[in-house]
Amino acid sequence: MFPAAERSAELSMPRHAQLEPVRQALAQLAQAVGVVGLTDNHMGRPRLSPLAAVPACLAHGLRPIVHLSCRDRNLLGLQQQVLGAAALGAAGVLVVRGDRNQATVDTGISVVDVLARIPTWAQPQDLLRGAVVNPFAERPRELRLLARKVAAGIDFVQTQMIFDLDAFDSFLEDARDVLPPRVAIFASLGVIRSARSLAFVRASLPALPIPEPMAQRMAAGEGVAVAAEIATEIGHRPGLRLHLITLGAEHYAVGISRAFTAARAADVGAAG
């Protein structure tokens, strides 16, 4: 399972067959987090398999979480990926629906079905199972989906990027009866460093709430400072873990991660 102060980060696989940039990014992330999520055809584009990066993660002392997209694979292909992750020593699998791509066909296999099958597929290995949750989607529907994922046996959830902490707190309150203590919650934090990156995120995730004062600061180049402030707030919320989406800025991960751990340590010290 994950320690209470665990931090993770997401690494988007490259669109070429070279591992050296991946190794360089992992070397930076290893100074900030203990777990790395390896994306699966991120943004609906063909990319290097996340399985290729598992040995590099382990070499840097990181626990790899292999992302598994259901959209473009049949059961045979999904089982093959799980077998590969288990055999290579991955810590777990994050099962996602997958980003849309007009060139591919949605197989219709559900995330919940795959989550339920993973323990059998991974034998004799024991993979952690994770799923995603969107605190800002239509609330009753999202809670129903989350309950089904919990019933399928998930060990952790990873949220959509969080900028509106009030809305996130409201979701956590409503999800209290759905999420048992055994399920670790990784609150995702995006590092948006420019107006261009902000425009891209807003175009890709139009329903994602970003408070306007915060958006203005990120557009003005204050995204790293904003991320550190949000990381501090997440650290002050008991039971939450931090998940960094650095968007190619892995060298900023250490400072942002320290903001989270400092807040968590301060609260633990005050309570002790």
- Over the chain (272 residues), the average pLDDT of each successive run of 10 is 83 92 96 96 81 97 96 91 98 86 63 97 97 97 98 97 97 96 96 95 93 96 97 96 93 96 87 68
pLDDT for residue 41: 81
User: How far apart are the two ends of the chain, measured CA to CA in Å?
Assistant: 24
pLDDT for residue 106: 55
Domains and CATH numbers, the chain: 7-271 (3.20.20.220)
Maximum alpha-carbon separation in the chain: 56
pLDDT for residue 46: 80
Helix runs in 176-251, H state only? 195-204, 212-217, 223-235
Listed in sequence order, the residues at least 6 apart from 55 whose beta carbon sits closer than 8 Å to its beta carbon are 88, 89
Residue 117's nearest CA partner among 131, 129, 107 is 129
- At residue 156, φ and ψ (nearest 5 deg) are -155, 155
pLDDT for residue 151: 98
Rounded Cα–Cα distance for residues 106 and 15 (Å): 22
pLDDT digits (tens, 9 = 90+) for 176-191: 999 999 999 999 999 9
Would you say the pTM of this structure is higher than 0.85?
Answer: yes
Find how far residue 212's CA is from the centre of its chain. 24
Find how far residue 136's CA is from the centre of its chain. 16
Q: How many CB atoms lie within 10 A of CB 266?
A: 13
Q: How many CB atoms lie within 10 A of CB 20?
A: 9
Angle at 128 between CA 125 and CA 134, to 5 degrees: 155
pLDDT for residue 101: 55
Rounded Cα–Cα distance for residues 240 and 237 (Å): 6
The pair of three-digit structure tokens given for residue 30, joined into one six-digit string: 């290893």
pLDDT for residue 21: 94
pLDDT for residue 267: 80
Cα atoms in the Cβ-side hemisphere of radius 13 Å centred on 114: 31
Q: How many CB atoms lie within 10 A of CB 240?
A: 22
